Amino acid sequence: MDIRRFYELTGGDYDAAMQRFMTESRLEKFTRMFVEDPSYGELEASLASDNLEDAFRAAHTLKGVCLNLSFTGLFQSVDAVTELLRHADPDSPGDQEQVNRCMETLRVWYRDIIAAVSELDS
């Protein structure tokens, strides 16, 4: 699949991304690099160890990467998690449950984008 189709399938904003990256080859290069970004793994690991401060930092970083790449759907999902973590009380089961619900959606968006990156033309 080409980069334009990638953006159509993953809920991204191709036009905004092209304004930022200027060429399809550059956009595709950075889209492929997304797979190597450690932020998502750090977010999952931090949540698994109940370290909400590090989880917030990882989510915030991932949010910035998604914004720069114009991954709109994933950005919105990460933004929701980031804001929940910004104000989360580590001792509140309700806060933890809200984060977990939003993470379910984020995981789907993330997996879909990772899968689609592997389908980009070589």
| Inside any domain, residue 38 | yes
| Inside any domain, residue 62 | yes
| Inside any domain, residue 39 | yes
| Inside any domain, residue 18 | yes
**Residue 122 scores a pLDDT above 80:** no
| Inside any domain, residue 37 | yes
Q: 0.85 cut: is pTM over it? A: yes
| Total domains in the fold of the chain | 1
Confidence of residue 22 (pLDDT cuts 50, 70, 90): very high
Q: What is the CATH number of the domain that holds 30?
A: 1.20.120
| Inside any domain, residue 80 | yes
| Inside any domain, residue 16 | yes
| Inside any domain, residue 122 | no
Separation between Cα atoms, residue 21 and residue 47, nearest integer Å: 32
* DSSP string across 67-92: HHHT-HHHHHHHHHHHHHHHH--TT-
Supply the range of the domain harboring residue 67.
3-117
Write out pLDDT tens, residues 78-111: 999 999 999 998 888 899 999 999 999 999 999 9
| Alpha helices, DSSP H, located in the chain | 3-10, 14-21, 24-33, 39-48, 52-69, 72-87, 93-117
